[in-house]
């Protein structure tokens, strides 16, 4: 889920080589394969909620799923990070490691909260609400950095808030689509706020490190925090069906690594704002997949509220891009 959220200019990792490359994107015609890769990235990210639901259906607790996802992702990246970026890692100072640990902590909160939200509400509501992180990043900038809001940003924020109220007031349309939608929506919002804090904390370190060692460090710290959560909660990581572990492995490979890599590849050729907006297609694709796989159909008011939230986030994104 977190891939598109890392691509915002002022609302993401602004002063990084990644966002600089997007600002200096060549004016020549964009290769067709870039749009294909971006589409693959959106589809890969959209599959996350489906894989999580399958693992939950097999009886694996949400914290264990989150820990497995991040731990496997970090392990898969380890040989590449150490082989190609050992010198970058050796130059890190204590402050850098503390930043990585802080970013990893909030990334762990994001995954623990969002994955848990899928136990209580529909895929559409969960993914829509967790995708509001750009709004929370902007609010953090406004509160702590005294950033100025563009008019389009304010309008988008208002529309998104109205959509959120509509979702909350709609209730649960059926017992098949989440037993506690308010709790599920609250957990998804907590996940959005946590990823926003993660982005703000990680800016300085991301400006110092290339992408691969950065995500390896942050994923590693997040995995450690999630493993600690599993141990404190007394939950077991063994004893599940083999297919359950396959779902967790696929979760680490497809949404976490393939999706993330696809977005960052496309960022070499396309503006960050365009990719961020493309990322807002993820909730729609996730909801479509949930309908096909689980026959999950939210209430009309929930769909309308979700549409308002998505429109609001896109407007806010355009407003922030205009300010930048």
pLDDT value, residue 16: 38
Element (H, E) at 304: helix 300-323
pLDDT value, residue 264: 79
Q: Is the per-residue pLDDT at 13 higher than 60? A: no
Range 68-91 average pLDDT = 95
Q: Are 308 and 60 in contact (CB under 8 A)?
A: no
Where does residue 244 rank: exposed (0-12), middle (13-18), buried (19+ CB within 10 A)?
buried
Main-chain phi, psi angles of 145, to 5 degrees = -110, 0
What are the pLDDT digits (tens) for 181-212?
788 999 999 999 999 999 889 888 888 899 89
Q: Which residues contact 198 (CB under 8 A, 6 or more apart)?
A: 103, 106, 107, 110, 218
Range 1-18 average pLDDT = 38
pLDDT value, residue 170: 72
pLDDT above 70 covers a percentage of the chain that reads: 87
Cα distances from 194 to residues 89, 105, 106, 229, in angstroms, run: 25, 9, 5, 16
Range 176-184 average pLDDT = 71
What are the pLDDT digits (tens) for 260-290?
889 878 877 888 778 878 888 999 999 999 9
3-state secondary structure 198-252: HHHHHHHHHHHCCHHHHHHHHHHHHHHHHHHHHHHCCCCCCCCCHHHHHHHHHHH
pLDDT value, residue 175: 42
Highest mean pLDDT among 34-38, 100-104, 181-185, 299-303: 100-104
Range 97-117 average pLDDT = 96
Q: Which residues contact 137 (CB under 8 A, 6 or more apart)?
A: 8, 11, 12, 196, 199, 200
Q: Is the per-residue pLDDT at 252 higher than 70? A: yes
Q: Are 191 and 117 in contact (CB under 8 A)?
A: yes
Q: Are 234 and 92 in contact (CB under 8 A)?
A: no
CA 48, CA 109: separation in Å to the nearest integer? 17
CA 320, CA 102: separation in Å to the nearest integer? 25
* Of residues 30 and 312, more confidently modeled: 312
Q: Is the per-residue pLDDT at 147 higher than 80? A: no
Domain count, the chain: 1
* Of residues 8 and 174, more confidently modeled: 174
What range defines the domain where residue 89 resides?
4-323
pLDDT value, residue 266: 86
* Of residues 196 and 319, more confidently modeled: 196
pLDDT value, residue 84: 95
Q: What is the mean pLDDT of the chain?
A: 85
CA 299, CA 178: separation in Å to the nearest integer? 12
Q: Which residues contact 271 (CB under 8 A, 6 or more apart)?
A: 22, 23, 25, 321
Helix, strand and coil in the chain, % to nearest 5: 75, 0, 25
pLDDT value, residue 320: 73
Range 132-154 average pLDDT = 84
């Amino acid at each position: 889920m977190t891939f598109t959220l890392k691509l915002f200019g002022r609302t993401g990792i602004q002063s990084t080589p990644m966002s600089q490359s997007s600002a200096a994107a060549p004016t020549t015609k964009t290769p067709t394969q870039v749009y294909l890769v971006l589409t693959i990235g959106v589809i890969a990210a959209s599959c996350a909620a489906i894989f999580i639901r399958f693992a939950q259906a097999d009886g694996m607790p949400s914290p264990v799923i989150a820990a497995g996802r991040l731990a496997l992702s970090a392990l898969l990246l380890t040989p590449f990070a150490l082989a190609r970026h050992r010198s970058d890692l050796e130059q890190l100072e204590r402050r850098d490691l503390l930043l990585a640990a802080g970013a990893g902590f909030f990334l762990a909160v994001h995954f623990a909260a969002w994955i848990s939200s899928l136990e209580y509400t529909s895929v559409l509501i969960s993914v829509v609400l967790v995708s509001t992180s750009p709004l929370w990043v902007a609010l953090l900038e406004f509160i702590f950095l005294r950033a100025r809001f563009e008019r389009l940003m304010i309008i988008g924020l208002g529309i998104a808030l109205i959509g959120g109220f509509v979702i909350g007031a709609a209730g649960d349309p059926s017992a098949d689509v989440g037993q506690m939608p308010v709790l599920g929506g609250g957990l998804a919002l907590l996940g959005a706020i946590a990823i926003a804090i993660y982005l703000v904390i990680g800016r300085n370190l991301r400006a110092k490190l290339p992408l691969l060692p950065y995500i390896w460090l942050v994923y590693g710290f997040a995995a450690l925090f999630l493993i600690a959560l599993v141990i404190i909660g007394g939950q077991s990581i063994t004893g599940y069906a083999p297919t359950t572990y396959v779902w967790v492995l696929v979760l680490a490979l497809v949404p976490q690594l393939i999706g993330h890599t696809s977005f960052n590849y496309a960022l070499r050729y396309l503006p960050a704002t365009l990719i961020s907006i493309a990322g807002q297609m993820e909730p729609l694709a996730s909801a479509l997949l949930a309908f096909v796989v689980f026959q999950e159909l939210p209430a009309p008011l929930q769909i309308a509220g979700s549409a308002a939230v998505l429109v609001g986030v896109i407007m806010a994104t355009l407003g922030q891009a205009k300010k930048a």
